[in-house]
Chain A
Amino acid sequence: MKPEWELWAQEAKAEFPKANSALLPLLHRIQSQEHYLSEDTIRDVAVLLKLPVPYVESVASFYSLYYKNPVGKRIIHVCMGLSCALNGSDELMHHLEGKLGIQEGQTTPDGEVSLLEAECLAACNLAPVAQVNLRFVGPVTEDTADQLLTGEVKS
């Protein structure tokens, strides 16, 4: 457990004092520091919020943006929704797989980049659209796809 997590837990509880509403915000904040939620982290969060460990585990496992395994520093989500598929999202995914030498769902061996499918990202006007660390990029053409791999991103 990092020393600042206790303060973060207090802040989350202060903002969302009722029920277990502090849980999701706290998981977000800790994951943004740790990049993923390890079993130890889940246990720490349970202690901080006085919740059973299996409860925290069951909540964290429900949501696709909480990662239970290590992910890359740069997470690329390619939207695979219908509007994106009609505009070439699958070709884009294959292009990125080729460039990175990994399959969708995997992380590069150096731990830098994870390539993930996203269900509809609600940005169909930008199809095919992707997110780099949850920042929208689109429409992505094969020429601009490399920007997903190397362009500057905010965390």
Chain B
Amino acid sequence: MNATSPLYGMLAEFDDVDRLVEAAGRTRDAGYRKTDAYAPFPVHGLAEALGMKRTAMPLVILLGGILGGLAGYSLQYWVSVIENPWNVGGRPLHSWPAFIPVTFETTVLGASLAGVLGMLALNGLPTPHHPLFAVPQFERASRDGFFLFIRATDPKFDPVAVRQFLQDLHPREVIDVPQT
């Protein structure tokens, strides 16, 4: 680390996924909160080990679906009953059973759009630039690398203590991540 680039955080690489999960749990127990872990596939229990209890995704998708369904039904009601009342064979203008298919489709559309856009928004994507991308070893995170990260803004962060803590978890290597 040099004076021109302050530390963004510290990264430790582990040999396999089980060690990473164990290390994540110990990091949480040691009181670190601004942490993350990186693995080339979704690891069951890894985010939980870091202290992430639940996500807002189901709620976002539910709200998207409700909004889509309401929008679809009210559109049809407004068009068929208020704006353009058109008598077809004496059928009632508010033929609700005929409005169900479109309502179903707009519900699914609303929920899916909310799911995808919500997932991206909650994950803070797109993020074209990130200090971790400057770490040469980090490209293994999309191949066979397992990383644990503690951010410098963590209240308990102290470069010497964190390095010692990470070393005690028996990683392959501990890497300083400069702020870029």
B partners with A:
no
Q: B residues touching A (Cβ–Cβ < 8 Å)?
A: none
Q: A residues touching B (Cβ–Cβ < 8 Å)?
A: none
